[in-house]
Chains A and B, each alone.
Chain A
């Protein structure tokens, strides 16, 4: 009977939203697969053939690229899972870990490329770590002749990726923990004689794994196919597969487009294969794990492993912090020669010199971020409000939501660009906003969904019985009470947009410049003072937005203690 009251226009919200980003992904995939097999009439490819694949395979260093991609991707994913699980097993329930979400969120709002740039400076042979201990400890008056950043094994890339992926998985685990009676189960398990870490891994992890499965797959896809961090920290020759693809895509010889598309396709296949492999491993682990848990061993290796993993994870946090601080120092350094631990002279000149370019870049970045977030908020709220009247979005919808995060960006951004060129929209702000929207929307939805659904429905019922229309209930009751979760979700969305590299590059066809595209381009350069300034602004932006999101509700509702449940 209440079905009559369901707003009809609201019902199309989920379908419309799904369309908004399934369309680019679908069109993008087609636009990448076809050229991979030689079909792109616009540049002379008129018939399907395997020639692009032959070019790809024949490329010197192809095998190394593939091995490198798989190696770094799989290693990063494994380490990310082990470190985040180990950290949570160690930290859960301890008093200092209670607000861990609040501490990690600013780290997550920092664009990955900014972290990578700062990290590169830390670990370079002439970098901060070496400077801090030279020459008094090491005797190196000149930087040692080793390779760290760009090392051919890709280890620098792995470490750089972990800087952000571990906090991401930790936050996903923390939110999954809210769905199960974790504290009670932990208490029971410990009362049965299991150590805190063992209790966590044996009793709680199996319960929450289904909820962190999709985030883990997203980490796998990202680690295998990342471009911006790969450009900054990964080896240059031969590079990872997606870096190779991007290089060929922007090659002066337009015929390189075809092998580039083939490389992107191969990248997609690698991601799919790895996820399938991981899934099979899950199944195996379930069987083995059950037996292990049922065996009842209580003082095993596990309890001893969690402290080391927690220490490593802490190191990651410290490294991230140092990375940002390093960039900040560079941006105000007049001169910072090796082997000084700190700059000899300070100056604002670096910032003054950037006074022409930074404001415009910042404004573009801000505008794109705000537009993408605003559109996403409207769509997500429409979907969530529609949910409240009936069916809740099931797991199928969750998979759809995660799709942009599971496909390697390069696999569909290629084709999306072809589509945009066709529509003569490429290089426009609108195209870039749309491309960002595809990635912003899932994060916004995931951020907002739980608090929104947890809202006591009786408030709305009471307000309705007092005569408030649906609009009034939404704007005068629900939104004010849920202001903090909403603003935080917007801050997350904004951070995702600021950090986008490939999306801006492809949708903007190289014509739209944001802080991130500029920073990544400059990262290869020699003047770290310039890089420092850009990387710092790149990090500050989302961080400030996040601070605002956290502080604004506290200010507005300073005299409303009843809202602390949501704050």
Chain B
């Protein structure tokens, strides 16, 4: 398997108060591949994502390594890992406009107001939200906010995409559309994607391998 840019989990084990939540897990997600993690509630799916993104609560005891391509990111703080994460709530910052939310993701590499504005504009067009740049996020519909949230993550040019049940809050119709939106963009950018869900339809739509945690 081509490991170039792949997400690799090596012997990841997570323990909570003596109870093993996640048995030693080895996983490789290749560039552009989408892997689904499924399991019942409380089996540790979200905890696994937290570990990968570097925001695991200290009450957990975790061991193992996370690698992106050849780089070991296990010791890096979350802001340096270049691992994007989407939650089931859009979590657009309420104090910023839609455009400012998108621009927030641009900090590190992009300089110059013009270039930033252009990138934000491009992202909005891709999300079919042209003209929304100064809008208050709370005035957008659920589906629109979800699209903005994904574009925000993609603007930070992540190397890996983590999805923590991101389609949960959307109704059936929106769900299909948004799912397609996410997977298309992830595939187009060649991002290894790790999707956590309890909905089998999501796994089917992703079309990749399915890992089961817990008893499932």
Q: Are B56 and A1 in contact (CB under 8 A)?
A: yes
Q: Nearest residue in B to A477 (C-beta to C-beta)? A: B93
Residue A182 lies at the interface, judged by CB distance under 8 Å to chain B: no
Residue B118 lies at the interface, judged by CB distance under 8 Å to chain A: no
How many angstroms between the C-alpha atoms of A291 and B42 in the bound complex? 40
Q: Are A389 and B58 in contact (CB under 8 A)?
A: yes
Residue A459 lies at the interface, judged by CB distance under 8 Å to chain B: yes
Known A467-B107, A467-B108, A561-B139; contact A462-B75, beta-carbon cutoff 8 A: no
Residues of B contacting A4 in the complex (Cβ-Cβ under 8 angstroms): 75
Q: Are B138 and A465 in contact (CB under 8 A)?
A: no
Q: Nearest residue in B to A473 (C-beta to C-beta)? A: B79
Residues of B contacting A99 in the complex (Cβ-Cβ under 8 angstroms): none
Known A467-B105, A477-B93; contact A461-B53, beta-carbon cutoff 8 A: yes
Q: Are A560 and B136 in contact (CB under 8 A)?
A: yes
Partner of A1, one of B62, B139, B152, B162: B62
Residues of A contacting B152 in the complex (Cβ-Cβ under 8 angstroms): 466
Q: Are B156 and A465 in contact (CB under 8 A)?
A: yes
Known A461-B85, A462-B85, A465-B153; contact A476-B104, beta-carbon cutoff 8 A: yes
How many angstroms between the C-alpha atoms of A459 and B92 in the bound complex? 8
Residue B83 lies at the interface, judged by CB distance under 8 Å to chain A: yes
Q: Nearest residue in A to B53 (C-beta to C-beta)? A: A465
Q: Mark A366-380, 1 if CB is under 8 A from B, else 0.
A: 000000000000000
Residues of B contacting A469 in the complex (Cβ-Cβ under 8 angstroms): 79
Residues of B contacting A520 in the complex (Cβ-Cβ under 8 angstroms): none
* Nearest CB in chain A: distance from B21 CB, A: 14
How many angstroms between the C-alpha atoms of A74 and B63 in the bound complex? 57
Partner of B136, one of A465, A477, A561, A565: A561
Residues of B contacting A562 in the complex (Cβ-Cβ under 8 angstroms): 92, 94-95, 136-138
Residue A456 lies at the interface, judged by CB distance under 8 Å to chain B: yes
Residue A470 lies at the interface, judged by CB distance under 8 Å to chain B: yes
Residue A390 lies at the interface, judged by CB distance under 8 Å to chain B: yes
Partner of B153, one of A2, A466, A470, A473: A466
* Nearest CB in chain B: distance from A366 CB, A: 29
* Count of B interface residues, CB-CB < 8 Å: 42
Residue B99 lies at the interface, judged by CB distance under 8 Å to chain A: no
Residue B82 lies at the interface, judged by CB distance under 8 Å to chain A: yes
How many angstroms between the C-alpha atoms of A284 and B153 in the bound complex? 59
Q: Mark B57-95, 1 if CB is under 8 A from A, else 0.
A: 111001100000000001101111111110101011111
Residue B167 lies at the interface, judged by CB distance under 8 Å to chain A: no
Residue A82 lies at the interface, judged by CB distance under 8 Å to chain B: no
How many angstroms between the C-alpha atoms of A473 and B77 in the bound complex? 13
* Nearest CB in chain A: distance from B15 CB, A: 12
Known A2-B57, A561-B136; contact A467-B82, beta-carbon cutoff 8 A: yes
Q: Are B138 and A464 in contact (CB under 8 A)?
A: no
Q: Mark B38-64, 1 if CB is under 8 A from A, else 0.
A: 000000000000110111111100110
Residues of A contacting B84 in the complex (Cβ-Cβ under 8 angstroms): 465-466
* Nearest CB in chain A: distance from B84 CB, A: 5
Q: Are B104 and A463 in contact (CB under 8 A)?
A: yes
Main secondary structure of the interface of B (DSSP, over half): loop
Residues of A contacting B139 in the complex (Cβ-Cβ under 8 angstroms): 561
Q: Which of A459-503 contact B (CB under 8 A)?
A: 459-470, 472-473, 476-477, 480-481
Residue B158 lies at the interface, judged by CB distance under 8 Å to chain A: yes
The number of residue pairs between A and B whose CB atoms lie closer than 8 Å in the complex comes to 100
Q: Are A468 and B107 in contact (CB under 8 A)?
A: yes
How many angstroms between the C-alpha atoms of A3 and B63 in the bound complex? 13
Residues of B contacting A459 in the complex (Cβ-Cβ under 8 angstroms): 91, 93
Of A464, A465, A481, A561, which is in contact with the most chain B CB atoms at under 10 Å from its CB? A465
Partner of B58, one of A2, A465, A466: A2
Q: Which of A1-30 contact B (CB under 8 A)?
A: 1-6
How many angstroms between the C-alpha atoms of A258 and B116 in the bound complex? 72
Q: Which of A73-95 contact B (CB under 8 A)?
A: none
Q: Mark A438-469, 1 if CB is under 8 A from B, else 0.
A: 00000000000000000010111111111111
Residues of A contacting B91 in the complex (Cβ-Cβ under 8 angstroms): 456, 458-459, 462
How many angstroms between the C-alpha atoms of A560 and B62 in the bound complex? 39
Partner of B79, one of A2, A468, A481, A561: A468
Residues of A contacting B75 in the complex (Cβ-Cβ under 8 angstroms): 4
Q: Are B104 and A5 in contact (CB under 8 A)?
A: no
Q: Nearest residue in B to A556 (C-beta to C-beta)? A: B95
Partner of B94, one of A1, A463, A560: A560
How many angstroms between the C-alpha atoms of A562 and B158 in the bound complex? 27
Q: Nearest residue in B to A456 (C-beta to C-beta)? A: B91
Q: Are B56 and A466 in contact (CB under 8 A)?
A: no
* Nearest CB in chain B: distance from A6 CB, A: 8
Q: Are B53 and A5 in contact (CB under 8 A)?
A: no
Q: Are B58 and A390 in contact (CB under 8 A)?
A: yes
Residue A138 lies at the interface, judged by CB distance under 8 Å to chain B: no
Residues of B contacting A473 in the complex (Cβ-Cβ under 8 angstroms): 79
Q: Are A1 and B74 in contact (CB under 8 A)?
A: yes
* Nearest CB in chain A: distance from B19 CB, A: 18
A-B CB proximity, top 7 nearest = A562-B94, A562-B138, A464-B78, A466-B156, A465-B85, A480-B95, A390-B58
A-B contact pairs, 10 of them (CB 8 A): A3-B58, A5-B54, A5-B78, A459-B93, A460-B55, A464-B54, A467-B80, A472-B107, A560-B94, A562-B94
User: B-contacting residues of A (Cβ < 8 Å)?
Assistant: 1-6, 389-390, 456, 458-470, 472-473, 476-477, 480-481, 557, 559-563, 565
Q: A1-B51, A456-B91 are in contact. List 13 more A-B contacts (CB 8 A).
A: A390-B59, A458-B89, A461-B78, A465-B162, A466-B104, A466-B152, A467-B80, A467-B108, A469-B79, A476-B104, A477-B93, A560-B94, A565-B94
